[in-house]
Structure 1
Amino acid sequence: MLKQIMLQKKIEQRKNSLNELLKKAEGFATRSSELETAIDEAKTDEEVATLEEEVTKLENDKQELENEKSQLESEIADLEKELDDLNRNAPKPNQGGKRNMGNDVEIREAINEYVRTKGQARAGFTTVDGGALIPEELLSPQKVLEDVVDLSTLVNVKAVNSGSGKYPVIKKSGSKMVSVAELEKNPELAKPTITEVPYDIETYRGYIPVSQEVIDDADYDVTGLIAEEIADQELNTRNAAIAAVLKTAPAKTVTGLDGLKAVFNKDIKKVYNVKAIISASLYNELDTLKDNNGRYLLQDDITVDSGKRLFGKEVVVLDDTMIGAVEGDLVGFVGDPKAFCTLFDRKRASVKWVDNDIYGQLLAGFVRFDVVATDTEAGYYVTFTPDTQNVPEV
């Protein structure tokens, strides 16, 4: 029994050292991310060179730490194997109803060690012997169905390599060439208008802790499920940012279908690929309207995601509070979202690491992007007022 206790203490010492290395590794990861951001934002070659030298030193330190970590893990594995062999060959409790007092003492000592170390020392007894853990069955979860729209598929997306910059946008001049007689000098054409739109990348990040007990006891992929949730939150973050920019389009109040049709027919230039990104309440309002011949104004079209078109244009439906302000808002963006705004995508990633302090895993995600209106003539933010007195034919 004394040898088992000594081995257990050695294992705990090695694990404490390993915990310190893991904490140091987390600090390296944080510093590495900070250096990457600093390099992106550096203004001179000298600054970049100095930061890259620190990156090289950091990589060397990380490699040394990784080697030390591997050595500790190997030592822990060897010690735990030796402890398991000793426990396996230890004298078994007496059979026939006689109580083995020596075994009871060992279990009691192991339980005391468990309590003193707050659950970290677990060798020497089972959960049945000690009654320390009473597991509950963890069944496979049911995922709530969601109607998810990825707005980044509708807007212009540009991958960028720096934290800030300018994006040139060329507007059509609308001018024409002129007729020129043979051998006459070429006339100068109208110059295009180039506008430089600034962008400034923002970082969105966070993590979700998952206990190791849940990971061990569940009969489904807990970490995979949490990773999906982080991906959903990333999507929701991008959608909210894109919708916020769409709501900055020039405001236009329209009454009835005549007013809405005028936006499609004449207010937006024909060069744009117009869509209607509208609130669920406005969609419901339009979906229940019929023309004078009794035909619904929204037409079915299986070639578009929403399955509906209005005046021949695709309809995308969002929650009222995303494209509007409150439930019941009859609002939406009518125009070309790809021309109207651009998503500057810097980086996205998901990471997983072990946190021994909580005896679990931390699943994290971070995204870096900015969404900017690049062509404000490409659409309108429409507020719709029903006009039941005058329903046009289509």
Structure 2
Amino acid sequence: MTLDEKIKALKADIKAQRDKLSADQISLRNLVEKAESDEDLAKAKDARGKVDGLKEEIRKNEETLALYEEALNGDGKKKPAGKRNKNNDPEQNERRQAIIDYVRSKGLKRSKALKFEKTDEGTFVVVGKRDITPTTDGVTSTVAAPTIPDAISYTPLRDLQTVVDLKPFTTVFQATTKKGSYPTVANATTKMATVAELAANPAMAKPNFNDIDWTVETYRQALPVSQESLDDSEIDLMGLISTNADQIKLNTTNDAVASVLKTFTAQAVASLDDLKLVNNTKLDPAYARTLVVTQSFYQWLDTVKDNNGRYLLQDSIISPSGKVVFGIPVVVVSDETLGVAGEAHAFLGDIKRAVLFANRADFMIRWVDDNIYGQYLQAGMRFGVAKADENAGYFLTYTAPASSSSSTPSK
């Protein structure tokens, strides 16, 4: 078979392969669009592998065709008369003809005019040498960019953020109506008196009941998600969106609880002694203690030392933050939860007595909407938050003394 015949046959093969590639790509798209199960997706992946294999075959055939055409164009008979090589160097002409004969004979006809070089890949003809500038003539990653793939990950990495759920620290009860009241009883402050024999019994003080009024509010949002995005995503897209909705719900309840904590009696602290004063004298001993601190307030606590150089914060396995101070569990929240970035705030007191959380409903709903060919994810809550006991805690604000950036050591 002559070189012309080979070129003609190879072009016909390439055309047939390209036609088949076009049909296979259409078939692959149909498989992907109609995939409803893991088995369907597996079939689609097999079809994609065949498409990739066919593309590789076409590429190799095109390279072979280019080689054939280059060899054919090297023959002076195929060039126009005005563009024939006018080199009259016999040695160079002999070498050129030897290369042509070598290519046409598929390496069987070798002339002494040719120089061969052996490598690990095989034996090659050294066609010619010239001065080479590596920076301009070499193959760099920029030149080979079309063949170098980009590594793409389809699983998003969620930003790290430690969020403490404040709701469990409050008094949570299941509300059955939109609004109502919740009774509390104050601690008894009276005492008995001595009575003479057979004297009438003095009256006992009645319990002091207080009603806490609460009202349920509705919080809800919905997000439309196209069915195409759910089908074509490499990850569980609806699962990711549901997780995001849970975080939004947590932010909502935390904000509601924090809004109540910020309404308690304000107390400025500039030293550890000021913190002790609130804990020891202002807060009734009957109340349980929890210290909810912002990151900036925690930074101050974490650097305070006593006169012996020991840090006041101690390790604890029962505290949410793993730390206690004066035996009080410490809960760390972001600065924005109780104020703004950079502000050092804290709530010291009995959160369960301080905040009432009326829980009415908590739901997450998915449904299909045929008008948009997609799904809706609706998240919602109905709850109410109220201050339960005015004396159950204090809202603290730390300000560093003007003369020092840290507090005075505890005595």
Structure-2 change in CA distance of 1:181 and 1:220 (3 Å): farther
After superposition, residues 213-224 of structure 1 pair within 5 angstroms as 213-224=228-239
Given that 1:292 and 1:391 are in contact with CA atoms closer than 8 Å, whether structure 2 keeps it comes out as no
1-structure distance, mates of 2:357, 2:309 = 42
- Counterpart code for 1:212: Q
Report what 2:184 is aligned to: 169
1-structure distance, mates of 2:244, 2:378 = 11
- How big is the shift at 1:232? 1.0
Report what 2:220 is aligned to: 205
Matched, 1:299 2:310: no
- Counterpart code for 1:289: V
Q: 1:385 aligns with which of 392, 395, 399?
A: 399
1-structure distance, mates of 2:17, 2:364 = 56
2-structure distance, mates of 1:362, 1:176 = 62
Q: 2:345 aligns with which of 316, 320, 331?
A: 331
- How big is the shift at 1:182? 5.4
Given that 1:156 and 1:341 are in contact with CA atoms closer than 8 Å, whether structure 2 keeps it comes out as yes
Q: For 1:78-129, what per-residue CA distance to the aligned partner results, in whole angstroms no more than 9, with x for missing partners?
A: xxxxxxxxxxxxxxxxxx95999xxx9xx9xxxxxxxxxxxxxxxxxxxx9x
2-structure distance, mates of 1:318, 1:182 = 60
2-structure distance, mates of 1:98, 1:256 = 81
Given that 2:290 and 2:328 are in contact with CA atoms closer than 8 Å, whether structure 1 keeps it comes out as yes
- Counterpart code for 1:226: I
Matched, 1:190 2:223: no
Q: Give me the CA root mean square deviation.
A: 2.9
- Counterpart code for 1:160: A
Matched, 1:374 2:388: yes
Structure-2 change in CA distance of 1:99 and 1:345 (3 Å): closer
After superposition, residues 356-367 of structure 1 pair within 5 angstroms as 356-367=370-381
- How big is the shift at 1:173? 2.3
Given that 2:272 and 2:410 are in contact with CA atoms closer than 8 Å, whether structure 1 keeps it comes out as no
- How big is the shift at 1:390? 6.5
Given that 2:400 and 2:407 are in contact with CA atoms closer than 8 Å, whether structure 1 keeps it comes out as no
2-structure distance, mates of 1:229, 1:272 = 36
After superposition, residues 54-203 of structure 1 pair within 5 angstroms as 139-181=154-196, 183-203=198-218
After superposition, residues 265-284 of structure 1 pair within 5 angstroms as 265-284=280-299
- How big is the shift at 1:248? 0.3
1-structure distance, mates of 2:18, 2:297 = 77
2-structure distance, mates of 1:347, 1:337 = 22
Structure 2 residue matching 1:237: 3-state secondary structure: helix
Unpaired runs of 5+ in structure 2?
A: 1-14, 27-47, 49-151
- Counterpart code for 1:374: A
- How big is the shift at 1:290? 1.2
Q: 2:262 aligns with which of 224, 244, 247?
A: 247
Structure (1 or 2) with the larger CA radius of gyration: 2
Structure 2 residue matching 1:338: 3-state secondary structure: helix
Given that 1:293 and 1:393 are in contact with CA atoms closer than 8 Å, whether structure 2 keeps it comes out as no
- How big is the shift at 1:385? 2.4
Q: TM-score under structure 1 normalisation?
A: 0.63
Structure-2 change in CA distance of 1:140 and 1:188 (3 Å): same
Structure 2 residue matching 1:243: 3-state secondary structure: helix
Given that 1:138 and 1:217 are in contact with CA atoms closer than 8 Å, whether structure 2 keeps it comes out as no
- How big is the shift at 1:393? 3.3
- How big is the shift at 1:138? 7.7
- Counterpart code for 1:391: T
Report what 1:14 is aligned to: none
Q: Which stretch shifts more, 263-272 or 167-176?
A: 167-176
Structure-2 change in CA distance of 1:99 and 1:336 (3 Å): closer
- Counterpart code for 1:392: P
- How big is the shift at 1:244? 0.5
1-structure distance, mates of 2:17, 2:366 = 50
Report what 1:230 is aligned to: 245
Report what 1:26 is aligned to: none
Q: For 1:253-302, what per-residue CA distance to the aligned partner results, in whole angstroms no more than 9, with x for missing partners?
A: 12211111111111101111111111110110111121111111211112
Structure-2 change in CA distance of 1:278 and 1:344 (3 Å): same
- Counterpart code for 1:139: Y
Structure-2 change in CA distance of 1:360 and 1:375 (3 Å): same
Report what 2:365 is aligned to: 351
Q: For 1:334-358, what per-residue CA distance to the aligned partner results, in whole angstroms no more than 9, with x for missing partners?
A: 1111101111001111100112222
- Counterpart code for 2:176: N
Q: TM-score under structure 2 normalisation?
A: 0.61
- Counterpart code for 2:410: E
Structure-2 change in CA distance of 1:154 and 1:390 (3 Å): closer
- How big is the shift at 1:213? 1.2
Structure 2 residue matching 1:168: 3-state secondary structure: strand
Give the count of matched residue pairs.
Answer: 270
Q: For 1:215-247, what per-residue CA distance to the aligned partner results, in whole angstroms no more than 9, with x for missing partners?
A: 111232211111111111111100000000000
Given that 2:318 and 2:329 are in contact with CA atoms closer than 8 Å, whether structure 1 keeps it comes out as no
Report what 2:44 is aligned to: none
Unpaired runs of 5+ in structure 1?
A: 1-95, 108-127, 129-136
Given that 1:260 and 1:384 are in contact with CA atoms closer than 8 Å, whether structure 2 keeps it comes out as no
Identity value in percent: 41
Report what 1:320 is aligned to: 335
Structure-2 change in CA distance of 1:376 and 1:97 (3 Å): same
